[in-house]
């Protein structure tokens, strides 16, 4: 199927070679865009070894997930554009199923994954409930899960949304959906379980990132979008 797949990547030297090889094997016709978000380990060297089969964007300073995705969106050329966390939380099947959902419904502009019954520590679960309530209060978004690391768009929709984004970190997912509602785009959801595979690594969403997320929710609420 005709699609671009964007991976924002930061310090993923342990598994990124195996992941990129798998993506090339399973999606030989896809435009795979690897965005090296200022990695300080051997990630850049590993990505460069795949330059004949992928498109690589790299810059020296870590800017955040939102910035990396925006850089990838600007380079995407295919009919559909997906972005996915670098550890493939929903596996190859998740990417395939989200793409099929987009392709099956011509009225759908955006499709997002929502986690089914995720395994979470109590403190993280309670924090997520609080954040979800804040998101609903300040943005009006009622999605079960805004933060799952797999989302897909029609290319022109993605590129239009990202001309208006300014969030550089994890709250980019919230900003995307907030703009989608303001622009009256149709958003579909797909419930999937997180795959327990050997690529899985500890979440990079730290307590520090949690504070940034809350700060960025307020920024989104008070920002004057020209849409």
Give the structural domain span for 187. Answer: 3-222
For 153-199, write each residue's pLDDT tens digit: 999 999 999 999 999 998 999 999 999 999 999 999 999 999 876 55
Structure tokens at 149: 């690391």
Would 88 be classed as within a structural domain? yes
107: Cβ contacts below 8 Å, ≥ 6 apart: 186
Residue whose C-alpha is closest to residue 205's, from 111, 118, 97, 139 = 118
Would 227 be classed as within a structural domain? no
Q: What pLDDT is attached to residue 141?
A: 92
Structure tokens at 70: 């925006």
Would 127 be classed as within a structural domain? yes
Would 96 be classed as within a structural domain? yes
Q: What pLDDT is attached to residue 204?
A: 58
Number of folded domains in the chain? 1
Mean pLDDT value of segment 56-62: 98
Helices (H) and strands (E) in the chain, counts: 8, 7
**CATH number reported for the structural domain that contains residue 52 in this entry:** 3.90.550.10
How many whole angstroms separate alpha carbon 220 and alpha carbon 172?
10
User: pTM for this structure?
Assistant: 0.90
Would 84 be classed as within a structural domain? yes
pLDDT of 130 > 90? The answer is: no
Would 170 be classed as within a structural domain? yes
3-state secondary structure 179-212: HHHHCCCCEEEEEECCCCCCCCCCCCCCHHHHHH
Cα→Cα distances 152→79, 83, 111, 203, Å? 11, 7, 5, 21
For 63-117, write each residue's pLDDT tens digit: 999 999 999 999 999 999 999 999 999 999 999 999 999 999 999 999 999 998 6
Would 166 be classed as within a structural domain? yes
Would 98 be classed as within a structural domain? yes
């Amino acid at each position: 199927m005709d699609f671009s797949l964007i991976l924002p990547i930061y310090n993923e030297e342990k598994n990124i070679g195996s992941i990129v090889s798998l993506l090339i094997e399973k999606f030989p016709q896809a435009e795979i865009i690897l965005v090296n978000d200022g990695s300080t380990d051997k990630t850049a060297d590993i990505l460069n070894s795949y330059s004949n089969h992928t498109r690589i964007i790299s810059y020296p300073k870590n800017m955040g997930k939102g910035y990396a995705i925006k850089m990838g969106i600007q380079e995407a050329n295919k009919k559909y554009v997906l972005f996915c966390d670098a550890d493939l939380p929903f596996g190859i099947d998740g990417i395939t199923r989200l793409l099929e959902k987009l392709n099956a419904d011509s009225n759908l502009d955006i499709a997002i994954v929502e986690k089914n019954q995720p395994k979470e520590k109590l403190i993280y679960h309670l924090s997520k409930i609080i954040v979800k309530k804040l998101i609903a209060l300040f943005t009006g978004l009622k999605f079960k899960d805004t933060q799952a690391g797999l989302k897909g768009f029609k290319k022109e929709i993605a590129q239009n949304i990202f001309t208006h984004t300014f969030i550089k970190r994890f709250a980019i997912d919230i900003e995307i959906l907030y703009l989608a509602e303001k622009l009256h785009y149709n958003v579909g959801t797909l419930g999937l379980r997180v795959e327990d595979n050997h690529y899985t690594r500890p979440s990079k969403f730290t307590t520090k990132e949690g504070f940034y997320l809350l700060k960025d929710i307020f920024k989104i609420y008070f920002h004057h979008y020209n849409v």
